[in-house]
Amino acid sequence: MTLIHGETGAQRTLGYVLDVRGGDGRARCMLDVTGAHANRHGVLHGGIAGVILDNAMGATASLTVDETGRAPFLTVSLSVNFVAAGRVGQTLTATGRVVGGGRSLLFIDGELRDADDTLIATAHGVFKRVPREKLPEGGDA
């Protein structure tokens, strides 16, 4: 299990880190919020909160079949509910949790919290595993 840095273009651009080391089947996505992540009101942009949640939840789905958290899953749907503002200077952590599913789809809940454990946002998503034969040429599960 590992801490994943800079694996994707989105990860490199936004600067988040994906942690699949917990051993509890839950992936975590951490972001140190800077001014580059803020909206016009000076707080975390909701779209970035969604990206962080989506990554933690997708990696949580991946952990159900791959201890490295790298088996590809597609987000079928994602809804995010904003509870409080994420602030510049905070470190936020999104965590996923499997709540159901079957052979082809997994249902994952997510929470985004600050270092003081204040709830920033919640999410619910549906994730589908990408079969190896459907990966682009050169892709890896």
DSSP letter for each residue of 2-51: -EEES-SHHHHHHT-EEE--SSSS--EEEEE--GGGB-TTSBB-HHHHHH
Q: Show me where the domains of the chain are located.
A: 3-134
Name the amino acid, one letter, at 9: G
Residue with the larger pLDDT of the pair 25 and 133: 25
Paired sense of beta strands 91-101 and 73-82, if any: unpaired
pLDDT tens-place string over residues 10-40: 999 999 999 998 889 999 999 999 999 999 9
Cβ(98)–Cβ(61) below 8 Å:
yes
Whole-prediction pTM value? 0.91
List of residues 6+ apart from 87 with CB closer than 8 A = 33, 43, 44, 114
Which architecture characterizes domain 3-134 according to CATH? Roll (3.10)
